Structure 1
Amino acid sequence: MFGQRRLCVQVVRGRTRDAAALREAADRWYRDVAPGARGWLGSTGGVTDDGAYVNLLRFASERAAHRNDRRRAQVRWWDEVRDLFEGEVTVTECTDVEEFGRDDIGRARFVQILQTHLGDQDAARPFVPPEAQEILDRLRPDMIGGMFCVSPDADLFGVAYFTSLTAAREGERTRMPPDYHAWRDEQMTHFDQEAVFYDLLDFWLQSP
């Protein structure tokens, strides 16, 4: 799973008072709309405990993503669900994607999404170099893998898949080697906005 790929990830964000209805809408999208979405590779989405909705839809290309946006089935589905949101719903497109870890994200029982902004895109890369991945594989078995998505405006979204919330919280207390901390501290200097975290316990992982 490790490496940089030229995908298109649409990051959809909003707020809702009805997480259950949005979950049903996501299931309906998967059943009725996804089968005709050519180039769609998968989605990770959910609603936090305080009503923040976030959904990352992966497409093989920008063309595939935009083609899906124009489909009648997609437009009809959106018209049916827009009233479930409070205020504005934003869509950020990221065509710069770095994946890390293992491919078996279907085992995930907890997902955490990070949102921030990059001051220096090149200096922050790779987001998870091979030596850091080796340490994570050895000391953080709770972290299955994930991806980092960067927009043309340098907005950064990171998603990490964990075996469980309990395991992730225990993993956060793991003593990591000094060189790992040095790398992480240096990388965070390239984030020029305070990071926002979305914790998803009730989430969906969809794929063709």
Structure 2
Amino acid sequence: MFIQMIQGPCTRQDDAQKMLDEWRRDLAPGATGWLGGTHGFTDDGQLMAVVRFTDREAAMANSARPEQGAWAERMAAVMDGPMTFHDCDDVTLFLDGGSDAAGFVQIITGRVDDPDRLKAMLADTETLHEMRPEILGGTLAIEADGSFVETVAFTTEAAAREGERIEPPPDVRRELEYALAGASFHDLHHPYFQSA
């Protein structure tokens, strides 16, 4: 799997949502290898979208389509500034890999010097599920330099906040402190989902 995370400032959220709905209706059918996406708007006015493709080649082929380029120009016109892109070939799914039934999604961005250590922490799904049953699943996407985008789907925001108050065991806390040192948290209170 290949994940692209797109982020940019956007105060015209209704217009941006219409553009994203248009993409799903008109362009998604011709996007070979597109699997789906999760997007939403943060409290500080950022549009954040995590888009999944089968592989990098499919994503790049989609970007090269003339109709995609025309749509992207119109999308840029409703943004308040340039969009940044993070392309990740190294993708790990944990638990159910996310869920379109999630009531709350958190996107965590950061950087680690040992991606395998981060992946090992998420591989222990039994411990994760026992500690945080409100987590439905998620994806971890890592770039070559160790930058990562983690997308976590929760049942509800209230359940997620309650889960945050649970004190993890010392070994888990140590791994969390490593993984989340310097990380940024982006809350999507009203997430949108698209699936192929």
Q: Normalising by the residue count of structure 2, what TM-score does the alignment of the two structures yield? A: 0.92
Match of 2:75 in 1: 81
The alignment partner of 2:44 has SS state of coil
Match of 2:26 in 1: 32
> Would you say how many aligned residue pairs link Structure 1 and Structure 2?
196
Per the TM alignment, residue 187 of structure 1 is displaced from its structure 2 partner at its CA by 4.2
Q: 1:197 is aligned with what amino acid?
A: F
Cα gap change, 1:103 to 1:87, in 2 (>3 Å): closer
Match of 1:42 in 2: 36
Alignment match of 2:165 (pick from 165, 173, 180): 173
Whether 1:196 and 2:190 are equivalent positions in the alignment is no
State the Cα deviation string for residues 26-48 of structure 1 (Å, max 9, x = none).
11111111111000011111111
Alignment match of 2:148 (pick from 152, 156, 180): 156
State the Cα deviation string for residues 13-61 of structure 1 (Å, max 9, x = none).
1101111211111111111111110000111111112111111111111
Per the TM alignment, residue 129 of structure 1 is displaced from its structure 2 partner at its CA by 2.6
Per the TM alignment, residue 91 of structure 1 is displaced from its structure 2 partner at its CA by 1.3
CA distance in 1, matches of 2:118, 2:159: 27
Q: 1:20 is aligned with what amino acid?
A: D
Cα gap change, 1:183 to 1:115, in 2 (>3 Å): closer
Whether 1:96 and 2:84 are equivalent positions in the alignment is no
Q: 2:113 is aligned with what amino acid?
A: G
CA distance in 1, matches of 2:119, 2:128: 17
Cα gap change, 1:58 to 1:127, in 2 (>3 Å): farther
The alignment partner of 2:138 has SS state of strand
**2:141–2:149 CA contact under 8 A, matched in 1:** yes
Match of 1:113 in 2: 107
**1:127–1:148 CA contact under 8 A, matched in 2:** no
Q: 1:171 is aligned with what amino acid?
A: G
Root mean square deviation, CA, Å: 1.7
Alignment match of 1:126 (pick from 100, 120, 129): 120
**1:142–1:168 CA contact under 8 A, matched in 2:** yes
**2:40–2:190 CA contact under 8 A, matched in 1:** yes
The alignment partner of 1:87 has SS state of coil
Per the TM alignment, residue 119 of structure 1 is displaced from its structure 2 partner at its CA by 2.1
Deviates more, 1:86-95 or 1:117-126: 117-126
Q: Normalising by the residue count of structure 1, what TM-score does the alignment of the two structures yield? A: 0.87
**1:112–1:199 CA contact under 8 A, matched in 2:** yes
Gaps spanning 5+ residues in structure 1: where? 1-6
Alignment match of 2:46 (pick from 43, 47, 52): 52
Per the TM alignment, residue 9 of structure 1 is displaced from its structure 2 partner at its CA by 0.8
The alignment partner of 2:119 has SS state of coil
State the Cα deviation string for residues 117-170 of structure 1 (Å, max 9, x = none).
12233343324132xx21222232211010110112221110100001111101
CA distance in 1, matches of 2:188, 2:91: 21
